[in-house]
Amino acid sequence: MLRPVELEIELFCLGMRIDPQSHAGEVGRRIARTRAGLGSGLEILIPSTRKDIWMNVPVLEPFAAKSPYLMTESAGKFYVVDERTDESYPVGIPPEPKWYSRLTSGGTEMSRIGVLQGNYLGIYVSNRCLYWALTPASACKFCTTGKNVGVAEESRKSVDDVVETAIAARDESGSVFTHFNTGYHYEDLDSKEKMHGLTQCKPYVSAVRQRVGGFIGVQAVPMPKHRWDQYDELIDAGCDHFSFCYEFEDPEFFASLCPGKEKTMGQKAFFDAMEYTSKKLGKGRVSGEIIAGIEPLEATKRGIDRIVNAGAFPTVCIFRPTIGSEMEHVNPPEPEAMKEVFAYLYEACKRGGIPIGILPIEVSLVVQPEEAADLVEQSFSTRLYSMKNRMLRQLARPYVAWKQRPATRSATA
């Protein structure tokens, strides 16, 4: 039998078929093709003695139709069956939140404002990423955002709609993290319309900090160096976390697969902003995001080291050839190669003393570093690192409870 993290990686790489007799598609969350399109799968829970693993299994892409994994249902319970071995793994299917189909006071269905990815709320705040509008085509080749924003989700989101959705996600789904992301938007200081993604996020960050509470993250392309005061302002407004998607460590892969990022800012801008914000916020509070399964494994490992050496948290996505992206016909990676990457990632975090698994935030689109603990040998240093993280998790509990209160309430308490 596979360990839970191994099953997770197998499913990310091979996808899953759904037995037409099962009701998985009816009881689960709707399949939301939003943001970069990675949420194109079925959200499931894999039981684990450490803690249940949330994951978003690819089910729509053509490779999933050839998967040896089949989701079945028996007596109201769900199983993932490996048809090569007949091994059967019980899994849970989180139900779709009731608030998804509720309207905000502005009249918009809440699922068009934000979606749960694991137990956190993801919100794409801006209009279509401008890389989609450049000539020649400059969008990242694995991305489908330009095809989703305005179709599967609202292109302009009011602050009140976002706050109402975040309150529903907090109260009814236990979300403790709201994550805002934007594509590429440059700033024109003479025009109120042309705002950098970071500037666009500011009113949402302030409102969620004041009226909702919880942890808040922002993902945007880097600000030019002379405007790094914008990071400071966002931190003052209540942002707890920044993430930087530099996607590929190998400069040639970066340039050819992210032509817009290469042309408008270059790879180094991501590292510089990541290092700056990591120093400001502290170890493990900023993440560098890369995609594994396209560039050589050694490059991915170098990327992980670079992120950890900057004091940041490596968020590694297993490449998914989402429908509608330029890379939709590229094969996803082999599970064994990805197990090697995540074992490496765990060891790198341990080496760098990066705290992992401290906050109760479950991300379904990636293998979280703490989940990878089962991929490495249990040595003395591994046990010590796990113990330290467990202690930090305990110590963080009062802080997490305090953070969950809106700032307006904390100030008047």
Residues interacting with ligand SF4, by CB under 6 A? 36, 129, 131, 139-140, 143, 145, 183-184
For residue 244, the 8-state DSSP code is E
* Gap between the Cα atoms of 317 and 365, Å rounded: 7
Give CA 81 to chain center in angstroms. 27
**Minimum Å distance from CB 36 to ligand SF4?**
5
Taking the least distance from each CB to ligand SF4, the nearer of 147 and 285 is 147
Taking the least distance from each CB to ligand SF4, the nearer of 143 and 205 is 143
Q: Peptide bond preceding 94: is omega within 30 degrees of 0, i.e. cis?
A: no
- Two tokens, residue 353: 């003393």
Taking the least distance from each CB to ligand SF4, the nearer of 259 and 406 is 259
CB 112 within 8 A of CB 165: no
Taking the least distance from each CB to ligand SF4, the nearer of 123 and 349 is 123
* Gap between the Cα atoms of 53 and 299, Å rounded: 27
Strands (E), 305-396: 313-318
Taking the least distance from each CB to ligand SF4, the nearer of 12 and 248 is 248
Taking the least distance from each CB to ligand SF4, the nearer of 124 and 313 is 124
**Minimum Å distance from CB 247 to ligand SF4?**
8
For residue 379, the 8-state DSSP code is -
* Gap between the Cα atoms of 386 and 222, Å rounded: 33
* Gap between the Cα atoms of 393 and 372, Å rounded: 17
**Minimum Å distance from CB 236 to ligand SF4?**
26
**Minimum Å distance from CB 131 to ligand SF4?**
4
**Minimum Å distance from CB 11 to ligand SF4?**
23
Taking the least distance from each CB to ligand SF4, the nearer of 99 and 319 is 319
Taking the least distance from each CB to ligand SF4, the nearer of 69 and 131 is 131
* Gap between the Cα atoms of 192 and 131, Å rounded: 20
Contacts of 151 (CB under 8 A, 6+ apart): none
Give the closest residue to 240 by CA, choosing from 207, 285, 271.
Answer: 285
**Minimum Å distance from CB 289 to ligand SF4?**
10
Give the closest residue to 349 by CA, choosing from 299, 267, 287.
Answer: 287
Query: How far are the Cα atoms of 69, 144, 151, 178 from residue 138, in angstroms, in the given order?
Result: 36, 12, 20, 28
**Minimum Å distance from CB 80 to ligand SF4?**
29
For residue 265, the 8-state DSSP code is T
3-class SS string, 18-80: ECCCCCHHHHECCCCCCCCCCCCEEEEEECCCCCCEEEEEECCCHHHHHCCEEEEEECCEEEE
Taking the least distance from each CB to ligand SF4, the nearer of 247 and 371 is 247
**Minimum Å distance from CB 294 to ligand SF4?**
14
* Gap between the Cα atoms of 125 and 179, Å rounded: 10
Q: Which residues on neighbouring strands pair with residue 82, listed in sequence order?
A: 69, 87
**Minimum Å distance from CB 270 to ligand SF4?**
11
Taking the least distance from each CB to ligand SF4, the nearer of 127 and 210 is 127
**Minimum Å distance from CB 189 to ligand SF4?**
22
- Residue 86's CB: how many other CB atoms inside 10 A? 7
